[in-house]
Amino acid sequence: MIDFLPDDTPELRAWRAEVRAFLAEVVPGGMHFDYDFDESPEGWEKSLDFWRKVGAKGWIGLTWPKEYHGLGRSAIERWILWEEFANWPAPGFPVIGHAVSWFLLRHGSHEQKLRHLKGIADCTILWGEGYTEPSSGSDLASLTTRAHRDGDDWIINGQKTFGTAAHQCQWMAVFARTDPNARPHEGISCFLVPLDTPGIQMLPMHNMAGGQQNQTFFENVRVPHANLVGDVNQAWSQIWFHQGGQNLDQPGHAPDVMEYRMLRTLKEVFTFCRETKRGGKPLIEDPVVRLQLAELVEGMEIIKLQSFELHSTLVNGTAEGWNPLGGVFNQIHYREFWPHFAQVCMDIVGPLAQIEGGRWAQLQGRIEHYFRGSFGNHAGGTAQLKRMTAATRGLGLPR
């Protein structure tokens, strides 16, 4: 039955109230923190403190099986939890631990799940991303980092790049070529690597929005065979994003703190327009600005509704008339809309939007920072790649 209402039972409404009470207690007033674009030590500290408290409630692994540090709760409860976090806002979950957790839950061994999900559930262990290489971005099959067997161990050599906040992490899921003679996508394996292993070196890179990404060099890095996830040479087909959507291994899509940052930014722009006069009139009465704002509202509304559709697909299967690859279409819209949104916000705020701080900055320079961050819209695969995935896998056009 068509429904857009997550909490249609008293139990679910109580759950939402519980989450909200937790937030009010732990991060009163909310906390803006995007680990992608922020290197402030206080920000990291407060964000980790928050997530450790979430972990202590068991909510990071809310839907995981109880035997693996989860609470075994439903997808819709997870939706409500994240919706509240996003709305509040809570800081974004630090680095890629969530993605690793779904990957481990699907492909990890019993021992790996027992051991590694704990640190994610507690937020005591942060996981970095270990697939991107300097000459291998979305094209995982072209990666050149090598791992070869040496007794009970594997020895890794190579280089990973663009590892967002990897310097804050303790572990990394590293994809490496284990069969150099196999076809490109058939010889890749995934290893769980502690980042304090000898032979690992990290060099910082800084992105346009002030976040730190990293190059990680592996020189004869030795990890035990027990740290191989799943079967050897099978990582390409296991990898969580190989279906074109990062969310497909989740029990059901949930709203995202990062996406909701857009909504909060929009509300800030509303306020700005109400309080700012241009040509003697409040900006909010300017017909051109109103149309610009309306188009931003439209794009935001679509992002929100896409989440509903994806959740329904993952939980209830694809409804007739909806593309089974809906997640990819969501990703197209988000990647294309985000920079457009940021550009229009800058336009509305006007020439003074270029000021980054101090008393003459508009909205404390947050729009300008948001704008710079929007050049990070390629993370997880470019809009162009998503378009092609949608065209070929979603619409069936030839490759």
Partner 1 sequence: MAIDFHFDEQQKLIRDSAREFFRKHCPPAAVRAAAKATEDFPAELWAGMADMGWLGITVAEEFGGLGASFLDLYVLYPEMGRFLVPAPHLDAVVVGAGLVSALGSVEQKQAILREVVAGKLLIAPALTDTGGFGAEDITTEARGANGGYVLNGTKLLVMAAGAANLLVVAARIAGAEGVSLFLIDAAAPGVAREKLPNIAGYPLYAVTFTDVSVGAEGLLGEAGGAWPALEAVLDKAAVLQAAMVAGAGERVLEIAVDYAKNRVQFGTPIGKHQAVQYLCTDVAVAQRHTALLALHAAWRIDRGLPVAREASLAKAMAAKAAAVMTFSAHEVHAGIGFMEDYDLSMYTRRAKHWESHLGDRRHHLERAIALTLEPAA
Asked if 291 interacts with a copy of itself (CB under 8 A), we say yes
Nearest in space to 175 (alpha carbons), one of 153, 151, 203, 154: 154
C-alpha–C-alpha distance, residues 152 and 229, integer Å? 15
Q: By C-beta, is 94 or 211 nearer to partner 1?
A: 211
Query: Count of CB atoms within 10 A of residue 187's CB?
Result: 21
Of 21-29, 99-107, 193-201, 366-374, the window that binds partner 1 (rule: CB under 8 A) is 366-374
Alpha-carbon distance 240 to 218, whole Å? 23
Diameter of the chain measured on Cα atoms: 77
Identity of the residue numbered 292: Q
Residue 41 touches partner 1, criterion: CB under 8 A: no
Nearer to a copy of itself, 77 or 286 (CB): 286
Distance CA 360, CA 348 (A): 16
Tell me if 286 contacts a copy of itself by CB under 8 A. Answer: yes
Which listed residue (17, 21, 208, 226) binds partner 1 by CB under 8 A?
208
Q: Say how far residue 109 (Cα) sits from the centre of its chain.
A: 24
User: Radius of gyration over alpha carbons of the chain, in Å?
Assistant: 22
User: Interacting stretch for partner 1, rule CB under 8 A, among 13-21, 107-115, 216-224, 294-302?
Assistant: 294-302
- When asked if residue 297 is in the footprint of a copy of itself (CB under 8 A), the reply is no
Work out whether 305 is an interface residue with a copy of itself (CB under 8 A).
Answer: no
CB of 211 to partner 1, least distance (A): 9
**Residue 397 near a copy of itself by CB under 8 A:** no
* Number of chain residues interacting with a copy of itself (CB under 8 A): 4
User: Token match 């079967």: residue?
Assistant: 231
367, 374, 269: which is closest to 37 by C-alpha? 374
For partner 1, which is the closer residue by CB, 76 or 172?
76
Token pair in block for residue 260: 């909701």
Question: Which of 41, 180, 287, 358 touches a copy of itself by CB under 8 A?
Answer: 287
Bridge partners of 155, per DSSP, are 148, 222
**Residue 39 Cβ, how far from partner 1 at the closest point, in Å?**
12
Q: Contacting partner 1 (CB under 8 A), which of 283, 332, 345, 363?
A: 332
* Residue 14 is a binding residue for partner 1 (CB under 8 A): no
# of chain residues touching partner 1 (CB under 8 A):
98
Q: Quick check: 1 binds partner 1 (CB under 8 A)? A: yes
Smallest gap from residue 288 Cβ to a copy of itself (A): 5
> Per-residue DSSP letters for 258-318?
HHHHHHHHHHHHHHHHHH-EETTEEGGG-HHHHHHHHHHHHHHHHHHHHHHHHHHHHHH-P
**202 binds partner 1 per the rule CB under 8 A:** no
Structural contact between residues 78 and 86, judged by C-beta atoms closer than 8 angstroms: no
Among 114, 182, 203, 288, binds a copy of itself (CB under 8 A): 288
Q: Which of 108/244 has CB closer to partner 1?
A: 244
Query: Which of partner 1, a copy of itself, none does 148 bind, CB closer than 5 to 8 A by kind?
Result: none
CB distance 236 to 185 below 8 Å: yes
Q: How far is residue 350's CA from residue 333's CA, in Å, rounded to a whole number?
A: 25
Task: Note the residues at the interface with a copy of itself (CB under 8 A).
Answer: 286-288, 291
